[in-house]
Amino acid sequence: MDHFLYRNGQLHAEDVPLSEIAAQVGTPFYCYSSATLLRHFHLFDDALSGMDHLVCFAVKSNSNQAILKLLADQGAGMDVVSGGEYARARAAGVPGERIVFSGVGKTRAEMEAALTGGIRQFNVESEPEMQALSEVASSLGVSAPIAIRINPDVDAKTHAKISTGKSENKFGIPISRAREVYALAASLPGIEVVGIDVHIGSQLTDLEPFRAAYQKVAELTEQLRAEGHQITRLDLGGGLGIPYTRSNEAPPLPHDYGVMVKETVGHLGCEIEIEPGRLISGNAGIMVTKVIYVKSGEGRDFLIVDGAMNDLVRPSMYEAHHDIVPLREPNPGVEQQPYDIVGPVCESGDTFAKQRDMPPLVAGDLMAFRSAGAYGAVMASEYNTRPLIPEVLVQGDQFAVIRARPSYEDIIARDIVPDWA
């Protein structure tokens, strides 16, 4: 469920007509619903009720500080994967003890920043990383709390580019070597083992891969405890998928996920950490764009819109589907026709949909790309010197721009021409 609905023939974000935002902000732009974000966070939080737990929002899915603050004020933690995301979370007022630092390539500078600024734990992905963290922590005279990311060799059955738990993926330490690596961790100065981390991929639509991975984690927990390790936390990652279409086939609900977590690891008495991103922010955001031209081609018609692949790269990068709807509600029974929906960037890959059935549209009509709140704005670029598009947050009947559109002058001023050029 989201809060983007038609009222009186116009698509609204909560109580605000999206056409009103377009008139003030211009197109294209991203729009997020506070009510949807909070609803999705509380679905996860409630799903783990009865267990000691922390829901850590995956900042990589949407890193705007207004979003982070909105969730943090409800008690959310944050899962970050870079020094920049850590700085964003802290700037949004998230305390260090609610920030988990993940990622395969943490630098020593990032480690030092987190250790001095406050951190809940590092999810360590390799022995060289653990050695580096030991040296940094020791030089600061502190201990770094860690969970070691285990690769359970479980096929998440998702898109190859977002699958992370198979043996050929770059993430984590093979589960067959886990006991050996935990023994190394216990011997290093400046390292405090607190738990186990696992994350098998993104946009999962079936609970069984999660179940298989978590059962392996449960077995490993008991083995490590028998060998004297203090395993008090289990970071189970994120990855639960969202419906990108309005079909009847929906991914599992957070409640069902929570039941499965309790069944697989609930008996261990560990604090549970989960790191949802897409399920919290994905359907809480849309991208609004305007038709520039309607072009008739050889055997097909094109809707050329002012949004482009640099604004929303998922269709080009992942062949991803986004439902696309007009802001003006079509009349009942209106005959639809197929269009290729494309952007203005000089790339054939700048195509959002092919032969998508839409009501007849004309230049100037507004459209919304649904399910664009995750991996939309955060993956955008200024390719073709196209300014990053604004982000807008709605709460009830009010809205605010939470990232402004830069001018061409702002973009060009960042370039530095050396004196000798």
CATH of the domain at 121: 3.20.20.10
CB within 8 Å of 339: residues ≥ 6 apart: 300, 301, 302, 303, 353, 355, 356, 358, 361
pLDDT-derived band at 205, boundaries 50, 70, 90: confident
255's enclosing H/E stretch is helix 254-265
Any domain includes 41: no
Q: Are residues 316 and 192 in the same domain?
A: no
In a domain, 72, yes or no: no
Q: Is 346 a catalytic residue?
A: yes
Could you tell me if 259 and 326 lie in one domain? no
Contact of 10 with 19, CB cutoff 8 Å: yes
User: Looking at residues 357-379, what average pLDDT do you find?
Assistant: 97
- Same domain for 239 and 288, yes or no, is no
Q: pLDDT band at 163, cuts 50/70/90?
A: very low
Looking at the fold, whether 234 and 252 belong to one and the same domain comes out as yes
pLDDT of 1 above 90: no
pLDDT at 240 over 80: yes
Residue 25 has pLDDT above 60, yes or no: yes
The answer to whether residue 301 is domain-embedded is yes
**Whether pLDDT at 183 is above 90:** yes
User: Is residue 64 situated within a structural domain?
Assistant: no
Tell whether 51 is covered by a domain. no
The secondary structure element, H or E, covering residue 41 is: helix 34-47
- Answer yes or no: are the C-beta atoms of 262 and 223 closer than 8 Å: no
Same domain, 146 and 266: yes
Contacts of 27 (CB under 8 A, 6+ apart): 288, 289, 290, 306, 307, 366
Q: Looking at the structure, tell me whether residues 362 and 232 fall in a common domain.
A: no
Number of domains comprising the chain: 2
Query: Does any domain span residue 93?
Result: no
Q: What is the CATH number of the domain that holds 394?
A: 2.40.37.10
pLDDT band with cut points at 50, 70 and 90 for residue 166: very low
Tokens of 351: 């195509």
- CA 256/CA 301 separation, integer angstroms: 43
> Which domain range does residue 156 map to?
103-274
The reply to whether 141 and 245 lie within a common domain is yes
Same domain, 378 and 353: yes
The residue annotated as part of the active site, out of 31, 56, 270, 346, is 346
Mean pLDDT of 226-249: 85
pLDDT, tens digit, 9 for 90 and up, residues 260-290: 999 999 999 999 999 999 999 999 999 999 9
Q: 391 and 68 in contact (C-beta within 8 Å)?
A: no
Shared domain check, 326 and 232: no
Asked whether residue 269 falls in the same domain as residue 291, the answer is no
